[in-house]
Amino acid sequence: MAERELLDELAKTLRNNAHKEYVQSYVTGKEKGLSEKFDALVRAELSET
Amino acid sequence: MRLKEITISGFRGFKDEQTLNLNNNMILIRGSNGSGKSSLVEAIEWLFFDEISRKKKSLCKSEYSGDFLRNLHCDEDELTFVELLSEIGGKEVRLRKKFLSPEKKEYYINGSLVSDFSSLGISFADVYKPILSQVEVKHYVETDPKDRWEETNKILGLGVLSEFRSALQELQNLKKTEDEYDSSKKIYYGLESELEELPELADLADAIKKRPFSSKTFKHKLIEKINETYLLRARSTNQLSKTLEREFKKLAQKSEDFELITQLMVPDNSLISCPSKLTEEIKKLFSVIRQSKPFRAELYRFLETGKDLIKETTCPFCLEKTLTSEKIKQIDVRIKENKEAETLLSDIRTKLAETKKSVEDFFSRISFSISLSSIEKVRERIEKNADYLNEITKIDLIKEQIVSLNKTLAKFKTDLEVSLELANRLSEGIIESDEKKTSLEILAMEKVADLSEKSLKSLRDDLQSLGSSLLSKVSSLSTQEKADMNRVIIFRRIIDHLDDIKYVGIYENNLNTVSGLIEEIEKFEKTKSKKLLTDLNDKIKDFYAKLNPNEKTQFSELTPTSGKSRRMQIKAISYGKAMNPVSCFSESHMNCLCLSVYFSQRVLNNPYWDFVVLDDPVQSMDEDHGKNLIRILGEVHKSKQVILMSHNANFCRDFTDLFYGQEYLFYEFSGYSAKGPRIDLKYAPFKTYMTIARRYSDGNLEERAISGNNLRKAIERLACDLLIQNGKLSHSKVYEMSLDERLGKIETRALLTLAEIGEIRGVLNVCDASSHEPPGREVTSKELADGIATIENLYSKRLKS
């Protein structure tokens, strides 16, 4: 099974949307993307509240 | 994809360019240790997968650095490349990869430069890698069950999940120890434990502890609680802050001592963030100044007044207007520009003045806020009381802090003044704008501002803690008054630190999300691998049984341990009893099992690659196991090309015995030198010898010798095939004969005409003459080409028909 298909299947089984976002950022940016995603989510929530 | 021919140059053990014909479904390569067999495997691995298993599985990866892929003896101008002639979907495709540096490689498909080989439409995932390296067939069984779990998942194609999981774990650890988050975390958890100690604020403690944390709910609860305590109806924390300030002072008046404590005016939040705000203001000012155009007042006035005066003047000689409309337009543009510059300049001046005022304001407020004299007054008062020993130490530390803070602030003040002066001179046009200088100035100022803010924050926290501990010891206050004061203090601190609380709450929510995802991935991995393992287990069982027929000890299954831990167990069964192969299997059986695991997935379950390379699979297997493996490969090679390497002479002998009479290529790697391995083609079908003979017939003297040699071998095969196929002689009988004897037999059985045998002898003379040892005469390309044509003609006439 191709890696991408496997990650897509993982994303489908996840119920939490934030989890899906991490899968997405892993697919697009691998390790580097995760740290950036984390900071982006914190920033977004900080500016929201 | 099948492999037809490989050329290697300057790679690992290969220095000189060498080409190996691989156009057969079964290729055996024999070679002693260090003869270059693994370099050939690594060349194929590197070509497609860009790395080699030996490095990937190594415990000291860092030692594989720099140009380790390049041959040690290569000169700087010598190329490192691997070229492969392959067959994809019945078409020949030539792939080439050039090594330029560890980071830079060039890829070619049929001579055209491409970015990589992805256009070939083959999966380059590890799970389908058609190569089993030596390290892989060694360590699967005897490894930590945790590592075995990871390795099994890789075999099953779930490697990306483990990679993802480790990336998340790394992120989690990294974030947990991040400095920026650390200081806020201390405040957050400090407040949490203080709130827990105050029963009347239990609901606030609950709100701060709740996960996922909601800063909205927390703030709402806080406002509600303060309103409830002081019977208010305020909606914002700002309004409440003022009330709390009043409440604090009111309580302070109840005791002389307490009033003294309150004199330790705690610098408020707005004051603490001042240094960075001021720096930011000056930074903006610099950027505006840099963008502004110079305002030249005299020129501006001259143009304004002069334009109207001379507009109507005509030249006394040519009688034409001296100021054409074009020129007037240009003057107007200049006037407009200057006017804009003037406005901007006045704006800058206003801003400069404002900033100067803010600076002064900040310093006057700060010197009032953190006065050393009020601290000293408190010290004097409690100095003689032994109860206050702890607080005296604290006061002394705070005094030191204030002294050092004052020094930092003085430096900050000077920096601010220098920058303001610089901005002033720039805007006045006294000095030219020098971007480098101004940015250095700003950088220095920012550093000091940052330092001031940090010291201010820590001073505020220390003063607050001093205030609380003094408060608890003030005897002139009743318990109720003390409790009231405590509450005011904690409310004030929470309001001051709302940003920290919000930040930590959200940060931890995200950390929870990450650990939640890790758990989800683990669950997904377990279900997925369980499903895939069912199929893999059957294949391993089958393969292992073929390697060990008639044995009562057999592999039974790979199974993940139950519960949360990620471990993979191997189970076997011996005479009906369950056993652990790790502790009970012999080396040879372990070797068989490792091979079974990898072979089952990468070879038997591989839809992408039509070949497999096995690098020394019979490491510790005994003879019988080796023979069984050869029998299995005999089946596999009917549908897949097999390239088999071995250092084991007995195994190779068993192979030639069992493959007796079948078509295969047999190479021997021998006599390794600094130039690379010496490669001999020991056994091949007629066609392969002819291909090689043709390939080198046009070359230099050395290459023509290779051509002649292979032509001779082709004749030997021709004679064998004639005797076996047409003469119905047995293989064993034919292989025992010399070439002369074979030709004699062909003559007596009239398998060829006398003229044809004469032609063969003629070609043999050419072959022998091309030989280097003893030095023969120079055979021409034409002689070789004619010989090749003659033999080919005979073969197709007598055998193919």
CA distances (Å), origin B255, targets B382, B478, B485? 15, 10, 12
Give the residue-averaged pLDDT of B645-673: 89
Q: Would an 8 Å CB–CB cutoff place B412 in contact with chain A?
A: no
Is B121 a residue whose pLDDT tops 70? yes
SS (H, E, C) B454-510: HHHHHHHHHHHHHHHHHHHHCCCCCHHHHHHHHHHHHHHHHHHCHHHHHHHHHHHHH
Residue B651 CA, chain-centre distance (Å), reads: 41
Which tokens is B462 given?
A: 């220390």
Chain B residues whose CB is inside 8 A of the A22 CB are 168, 513-514, 517
Task: Give B308's pLDDT tier (boundaries 50, 70, 90).
Answer: low
Of B90-94, B415-419, B745-749, the least confident: B415-419
Question: Above 90 in pLDDT, residue B793?
Answer: yes
Q: Cα separations (Å) of B12 from B72, B219, B740?
A: 7, 66, 42
CB distance B420 to B360 below 8 Å: no
Q: Cβ contacts (< 8 Å) between B513 and chain A: which residues?
A: 16, 18-19, 22, 41
Residue-level pLDDT at B467: 80
- List residues in chain A touching B: CB distance below 8 A: 1-3, 6-7, 10, 13-14, 16, 18-19, 22-23, 26, 30-31, 34-35, 38, 41-42, 45-46, 49
pLDDT in tens, B449-467: 888 888 888 888 888 788 8
The region, left, alpha or beta by phi > 0 then psi within -120 to 50, assigned to residue B34 is left
Supply the ipTM of this predicted assembly. 0.95
User: Do B608 and B638 meet the contact criterion of CB atoms below 8 Å apart?
Assistant: no
The per-residue pLDDT for B295 is 67
Amino acid at B158: L
> How large a percentage of chain B has pLDDT more than 70?
94
Q: Is B601's pLDDT higher than 90? A: no
State in Å, rounded, how far the first CA of chain B is from the last one.
31
| Residue B697 near residue B707 (C-beta atoms within 8 A) | yes
- Residue B321 — pLDDT band, cuts 50, 70, 90? low
Q: What is the DSSP string of B537-588?
A: HHHHHHHHHHHSTT-SEEEEEEEEPSSS---EEEEEEETTEEE-HHHH--HH
Name the minimum distance, in Å, from the CA of B513 to any CA of chain A. Answer: 7
Of B208-212, B407-411, B796-800, minimum mean pLDDT range: B796-800
Burial of B778: CB neighbours in 10 Å, binned 0-12, 13-18, 19+: exposed
pLDDT confidence bin for B497, thresholds 50/70/90: confident
Q: What's residue B268's pLDDT?
A: 65
Contacts of B68 (CB under 8 A, 6+ apart): B55
pLDDT tier for residue B673 given thresholds of 50, 70 and 90: confident
What's the distance, Cα to Cα, between the start and end of chain A in Å? 42
- Is the CB of A16 less than 8 angstroms away from the CB of B517? yes
Whether residue B520 and residue A30 make contact (CB cut-off 8 A), yes or no, is no
Between residues B659 and B27, which one has the greater pLDDT?
B27
Domain ranges of chain B: 1-141+606-684, 269-476, 685-801
DSSP label at B799?
I
Q: Residue A38 is nearest to which of B125, B157, B175, comparing CB atoms?
A: B175
Q: Give the tokens for residue B763.
A: 């070609």
From the list B123, B502, B513, the residue facing A2 with the nearest CB is B123
Closest chain A residue by Cα to residue B517: A19
Which of these, B93, B99, B48, lies nearest to B78 by C-alpha position? B99
DSSP B62: G
pLDDT at B801 (0 to 100): 47
Q: Which residue has the higher pLDDT, B342 or B772?
A: B342
Distance (Å, rounded) from C-alpha B652 to C-alpha B658? 10
Q: By C-alpha distance, which of A37, A25, A30, A16 is closest to B524?
A: A16
pLDDT at B669: 92
Tell me if A42 and B167 make a contact (CB, 8 A cut-off): no
- Measured CA to CA, the distance from residue B737 to residue B438 in angstroms comes to 93
Asked if residue B311 has pLDDT above 70, the reply is no
| Closest CB from B125, B161, B506 relative to A42 | B506
Q: Can you give the pLDDT at residue B251?
A: 82
Segment B198-219 mean pLDDT = 90
Q: Which of A13, A18, A34 sits opposite B168 (nearest CB)?
A: A34
Domain extent, residue A43, equals: 3-48
Q: Residue B745's pLDDT is what?
A: 92
B516 — contact with chain A (CB < 8 Å)? yes
Chain A interface test: which of B174, B498, B509, B510 (most A C-beta within 10 Å): B510
The 3-state secondary structure of A1-49 reads CCHHHHHHHHHHHCCCHHHHHHHHHHHHHHHHHHHHHHHHHHHHHHHHC
Please classify residue B559 by burial: count the beta carbons closer than 10 Å to its beta carbon, then call 0-12 exposed, 13-18 middle and 19+ buried: middle
Q: In what order do the strands lie in the sheet with B80-88?
A: B18-21, B2-9, B80-88, B91-99, B105-109, B112-114
Which of B120, B24, B165, B125 is CA-nearest to residue B566?
B165
Tens digit of each residue's pLDDT (9 = 90 or more) over B739-759 = 999 999 999 999 999 999 999
Nearest to A3 among B160, B509, B520 (CB): B160
Question: At residue B152, what are phi and psi to the nearest 5 degrees?
Answer: -65, -40
Q: Which residue does chain A place closest to B171, by CA atoms?
A: A35
Contact B161 A10 (CB under 8 A): yes
Interval B622-634 mean pLDDT: 93
Q: Which residues of B touch A6 (CB under 8 A)?
A: 157-158, 160-161, 528
Query: What tens digit of pLDDT does each residue of B558-580 get?
Result: 998 887 788 898 999 999 999 99
Note the pLDDT tens digit of each residue in B129-175.
Answer: 999 988 877 778 878 888 888 889 888 889 889 989 999 999 999 99
Q: How far is CA A48 from the centre of its chain?
A: 19
Interchain contact, A6 vs B168, CB within 8 Å: no
CA B426 to chain centre: 47
Interchain contact, A38 vs B517, CB within 8 Å: no
- Measured between beta carbons, which residues in chain B are less than 8 angstroms from residue A2? 123, 125
Does the beta-carbon distance from B125 to A2 stay under 8 Å? yes
pLDDT band at B55 (very low <50, low <70, confident <90, very high): confident
pLDDT tens for B502-525 read 999 999 999 999 999 999 999 999
Optimal mutation site among A1, A13, A32, A37, interface B, most CBs of chain B within 10 A: A1
Using CA atoms, how far apart are residues B590 and B546, in angstroms rounded to an integer? 15
Q: In terms of pLDDT, which residue wins out, A31 or B603?
A: B603
Measured CA to CA, the distance from residue B726 to residue B747 in angstroms comes to 13
Our CA dihedral for B623, B628, B634, B636, rounded to 10 degrees, sits at -130
Chain B contact set for A34 (CB, 8 A): 167-168, 171
CA–CA separation, B27 and B43 (whole Å): 16
Could you tell me the pLDDT band of residue A5, with boundaries at 50, 70 and 90? confident
Q: Which residue has the higher pLDDT, B468 or B417?
A: B417
Tell me the mean pLDDT in the region B39-61: 84
Helices B325-369 and B297-311, interaxial angle, to 10°?
A: 150
Helices (H) and strands (E) in chain B, counts: 29, 15
pLDDT of residue B439: 75
- The pLDDT value given to residue B29: 96
Q: How many domains is chain A built from?
A: 1
Averaged confidence pLDDT in chain B: 86
Do the chains contact at A7 and B164, CB–CB below 8 Å? yes
Which residues of chain B make contact with A46, given a CB cutoff of 8 A? 502-503, 506
Residue B313: predicted pLDDT = 63
Q: Which amino acid is at B567?
A: R
Of A2, A35, A49, the CB nearest to B171: A35
Is the separation of the CB atoms in B618 and B14 below 8 Å?
Answer: no
Q: Which residues contact B317 (CB under 8 A, 6 or more apart)?
A: none
Angle between the N-to-C axes of helices B701-721 and B686-696, in degrees from 0 to 180, rounded to the nearest 10: 160
Instruction: Tell whether B503 is within 8 A of chain A (Cβ).
Output: yes
Q: Give the CA angle between residues B518, B524, B527 to the nearest 5°.
A: 145
Cα distance between residue B660 and residue B79, in whole Å: 40
Other Cβ atoms less than 10 A from the Cβ of B541: the count is 16
Please state the length of chain B.
801
Pick the residue of A12, A45, A47, A48 with the most B CBs within 10 A to test the interface with B by mutation: A45
pLDDT at B3: 96
Cα–Cα distances in Å, from B648 out to B599, B618, B636, B676?
A: 20, 8, 21, 21
B517 → closest Cβ in A6, A22, A31: A22
Q: Check: CB of residue B41 under 8 Å from CB of residue B33.
A: no
Contacts of B506 in chain A (CB under 8 A): 42, 45-46, 49
Superfamily of domain B1-141+606-684: P-loop containing nucleotide triphosphate hydrolases (3.40.50.300)
Residue B544 has pLDDT above 80, yes or no: yes
Nearest to A34 among B160, B171, B506 (CB): B171
Phi, psi (rounded to 5 degrees) for B658: -70, -25
Confidence of residue B314 (pLDDT cuts 50, 70, 90): low
Write out chain A residues lying below 8 Å of B157, CB-based.
Answer: 1, 6
